[in-house]
Chains A and B, each alone.
Chain A
């Protein structure tokens, strides 16, 4: 992947910076400048907590070119606690232990290495949540 293509996404890749809609308050990730809910301009940055749950998942045995070193790896649709969904790899977990609804949290991991002398791309992956909810009552 080219350096500028990755560089300009650093706020999203490293910190999950999305947007909040000034019109309806919807939280938006990935950022898209126009709110998908109400079509108002959405330009106020919003940092997501990185917590969410697995909406769906699959394990890739035949990776696309450039991801061979990670195979097999598990990918998921993660529903963030603020509302939107994103797509990411799961990490620090055995594929057999993943289930729909599993709480997960964002971590920063190596996504891709562009050959021996190219850039190493870092970004978000999600692991089983280590955040213990406070006991109720």
Chain B
């Protein structure tokens, strides 16, 4: 197996892009990543996307985006793993390059969510859950997370306000990210008073519905140096899975998929949680941030919220999370999110994160979650000295 490096990264500002279609969004990100990498020849393109069929009336994205990006003829596929589609596509690209089947691979995550009305988008997002036994009962995807949050608060005796640091931290970091959707700070008071969405989840627990695309270019590490001045090595790439439905999990408050995924990633990279300098976690809802910190070994069971309350998730904390705004502040265009996370870790490891720079960042971890934890994709990236 070959070592794989990221030699280029590009992203589109996350927003409500009324004037731009899905193919244009994807193309913009691909173009930016290829320009950053300084390459024009590509062997394969993998598109991470969850809902193009439901929300944009378009499937068959591999060939569509390849053609639109001027790459007609190359191998191209769409990869789907609900909200984990972006990182799942990266995993496929990684396998292709590591296995020696391709040299230069572009991975783009793209999602266009704002063309439809609220009820349609809500129904589409719920496709990540179990269709026969969860969504058929009228569950929305938010409510799946609300069930987890309510139980977490009950078992660990914490309040809704205890989750405020996740939103406060994410928004604080988004202020300095020109690609973020919400570039304004929020206070703990505002968090508590936010509009209720699905008790106990309120608006400031939740990531927004939005449009976006981000892309990275992969190459074998031995080629990377000659192609690009600042390659970043993929030290680990791993997927773990669990039951789709919460009621089928061993313990609903433990992300077993996350435990498996991070354990594999740590083993592959030969590191542990204490070695990770920053963690781009999947804070689609604040409860998922807490559960992710626990599954990845940064906090004991039930202590994820405590870690945030102790101020350890900030840029200068023990484990900085959502360093460019996270899903909450930067935005969560579902199938694109996993690649935004990777682009941001690359920024950090290249020392290009500006005011949000984590000092001496050498190892960064990104974790993209499909559904409420059924697919968990973890990548560890390493700065190349």
Contacts and interface: CB of A to CB of B under 8 A. Distances in A.
B147 A77 contact: yes
B315 interface: no
Given A58-B199, A65-B120, A89-B137, 13 more contacts: A56-B252, A57-B147, A58-B146, A59-B199, A60-B198, A62-B118, A63-B119, A65-B122, A77-B247, A84-B247, A112-B138, A121-B136, A123-B136
B148 A60 contact: no
Interface string A67-92: 11010010111000000111111000
Most chain-B CB neighbours within 10 Å: which of A5, A56, A60, A87?
Answer: A87
Contacts of B189: none
B365 interface: no
Nearest to B195: A61
B122 A63 contact: yes
B347 interface: no
Contacts of A9: 132
B49 interface: no
Return the 5 tightest CB-CB contacts between A and B, nearest first: A58-B146, A64-B123, A85-B247, A56-B151, A65-B123
B interface majority secondary structure = helix
A87 B247 contact: yes
**What bracket does the count of chain A residues touching chain B fall in?**
35 or more
B379 to A, nearest CB: 29
B177 to A, nearest CB: 28
26 contacts: A1-B136, A55-B252, A56-B252, A57-B147, A58-B150, A58-B200, A58-B201, A59-B198, A60-B138, A60-B140, A60-B198, A61-B196, A61-B197, A63-B119, A64-B123, A64-B140, A68-B119, A73-B138, A75-B138, A77-B252, A87-B133, A87-B137, A87-B147, A87-B245, A121-B136, A123-B137
Contacts of B176: none
Interface of B: 118-120, 122-123, 126, 132-140, 142-143, 146-148, 150-151, 154, 196-201, 243, 245-248, 252
A111 B139 CA distance: 11
A123 to B, nearest CB: 7
B138 A70 contact: yes
Interface of A: 1, 5, 9, 30, 36, 55-68, 70, 73, 75-77, 84-89, 95, 100, 111-112, 121, 123
A32 to B, nearest CB: 8
Given A30-B132, A77-B252, A63 B150 contact: no
Contacts of A62: 118-119, 122, 140, 142, 197-198
A75 B147 contact: yes
Contacts of A85: 246-248, 252
Contacts of B147: 56-58, 75-77, 87
Contacts of A121: 136
Given A59-B198, A87-B139, A100-B150, A64 B246 contact: no
Contacts of A73: 138
A78 to B, nearest CB: 8
A70 B119 CA distance: 14
Given A75-B137, A77-B252, A89-B138, A58 B143 contact: yes
A2 to B, nearest CB: 11
A18 B147 CA distance: 23
Contacts of B132: 5, 9, 30
A89 to B, nearest CB: 6
A67 B200 contact: no
Nearest to B147: A56
A72 B120 CA distance: 17
